[in-house]
Structure 1
Amino acid sequence: MFESMSVLDFTTLYNEDELNVIDIRETDAFLQKHLAHSISLPATVLPNMLDQLDKDKTYHIISNGGRRSETIAAFMTAKGYHAVHVIGGMDSLSL
């Protein structure tokens, strides 16, 4: 089972520590607004790029509203990665 984290908890952790954030939105949305140090890896591309990610790291997965990030976090967890779904996504962040 994958982990989920509220946007409030994510914001607190993000402000205190450097996280591995994967933004799974399409490139144009990422270019318009994104978190500093986040990686743009659209959901349509991510499954083919998993082998480039480190299974020893924790990845916080973010999308627009949180639905796609939930699916991707579950997929990554099933493949042996530690993925945390950020509930509410970019739409809920006020960073």
Structure 2
Amino acid sequence: MTSISVQDFNLLRQNEALNILDIRDSQDFEMGHLLNAISLPATSLPNELNKLDKNATYYVISYSGRRSEIIANFLENHGYKAIHVIGGMRDIKQLAA
């Protein structure tokens, strides 16, 4: 599985349009998310895989990065390209502060 630091992820997303998969629950997503992020809660993901494109690369974000690592592995095991964002939204918010 591929991982990326929050710092490298932030630099990359400033220069490229990325497929950002936010796996937090919908309430957390509504309280704040990255521009153009796709909300697909981890609990719904197994039933919603058909919404994802196997030709796309997804940057998977959770709150702290723990669940995103698990989900990125899950996606890769099902034939998707997924990159785990280490530190998640918690660290992204700290960078912005």
Output the TM-score relative to the length of structure 1.
0.96
Identity %: 51
| Structure 2: gaps of 5 or more residues | none
**Shift of the alpha carbon at 1:51?**
1.4
In the comparison of the two structures, how many residue pairs are matched?
94
1:57 match = 56
Say whether residues 1:79 and 2:78 are aligned partners.
yes
2:88 match = 89
Map 1:1-95 to 2 at 5 A: 2-93=1-92, 94-95=95-96
**Shift of the alpha carbon at 1:70?**
0.2
More helix by share: 2
Cα-to-partner distance string for 1:40-65 (whole Å, 9 max, x where unaligned): 00000011111121100000000000
| Structure 1: gaps of 5 or more residues | none
Counterpart residue type for residue 75 of structure 2: M
Counterpart residue type for residue 20 of structure 2: V
| 3-state SS, counterpart of residue 90 of structure 1 | helix
